Amino acid sequence: MSDMDSVNPAPVAGVRRPGRVRADYPAVIAATVLAILFWEALVLVSGGWVPGVLRISSSFVELLTERDTYVAIAITLSRIGVAFLGAFLIGVALGVAMGLWDWVDAFWRPIIALALAIPDPVYFIMAILVFGASESVSVLALMAAVLPFAVSAVASSMRARDSKLDEMARAYRLSRRAYLRHVLMPQIAPAILISARTAFAFSWKIGVLMEAMTRPNGIGAEIFFAFRLFRPHETIALALIFVIVMRSIELLVFKPIERRASAWRA
């Protein structure tokens, strides 16, 4: 066997080796067992006020058999989808513009910094006070709450890009299309993926809060309704169902895109 044959090939970015995946299973099982034991300890300390794992599991299964649960999830997903797409597309466009033109960056940077510091409920409260409590106003407020996070990721990557590559593009007189495809996109593609995942994560987390505060339907409203009726087991079960749905969407949609993008850049 030659020396070259004995060298292990370098792992491809974004691809996990099977051994690593198998090694994760014991850690996941151990973490799950510890979480259950910790929760049952909370049940004992609370004197029964905190629902046990079996009570939550029973409510979980019961909710899965009810049509209203799926209707609420569908309503929430439609709101999140609109807010996510709007925040992501506008965020990428604005982030790229901030990196390309100094005057755009000078104008928007303090606004984005201020928007990142505003607590999420303030967006919904101000939107209701100014425009009323309609469906479109709630979705626009959700979009406004998520937008700063999407802009920040792309704008930071644009500022950190290699200026020498820009100089090379000008020296070779690349067209705008060639510059975007061959020079700019390979540098900011990871930031765009981060922006997409960040916008999606904040969309569904803030979206549930928005529904609990402003809407009469959706999974957030159902969670708040169960809380008001002092049904903690149902509140937790609804939250778990929705977390599983959103994590499944992230694994089925964003993970494959991330692997393809990593393979393309490699």
- List pLDDT tens digits, range 142-159: 999 999 999 988 888 888
Q: Are residues 41 and 78 in the same domain?
A: no
Q: Is the pLDDT of residue 202 over 50?
A: yes
Q: How many domains does the chain have?
A: 2
Structure tokens at 170: 């000008």
Q: Are residues 182 and 88 in the same domain?
A: yes
Q: Hey, CA dihedral for 38, 43, 49, 52, is it positive or negative?
A: positive
Residue 145 and residue 202: Cα distance in Å, rounded? Answer: 9
Q: Are residues 38 and 70 in the same domain?
A: no
What is the number of alpha carbons within 13 Å of residue 116 lying toward its C-beta?
13
pLDDT tens track for 17-43: 545 555 577 888 888 889 889 988 888
Residue with tokens 């549930």: 208
The answer to whether 163 and 171 have CB atoms below 8 angstroms apart is: no
Q: Is the pLDDT of residue 137 over 50?
A: yes
Q: Are residues 20 and 138 in the same domain?
A: no
Q: Is the pLDDT of residue 3 over 60?
A: no
Q: Are residues 110 and 30 in the same domain?
A: no
- The verdict on pTM exceeding 0.85 is no
Q: Are residues 211 and 83 in the same domain?
A: yes
Q: Are residues 35 and 94 in the same domain?
A: no
Residue 27 sits in which domain range? 15-46
- Which of 35-49, 54-68, 220-234 is least confident? 35-49
Q: Is the pLDDT of residue 44 over 70?
A: yes
Residue 154 and residue 61: Cα distance in Å, rounded? Answer: 41
Q: Is the pLDDT of residue 9 over 50?
A: no
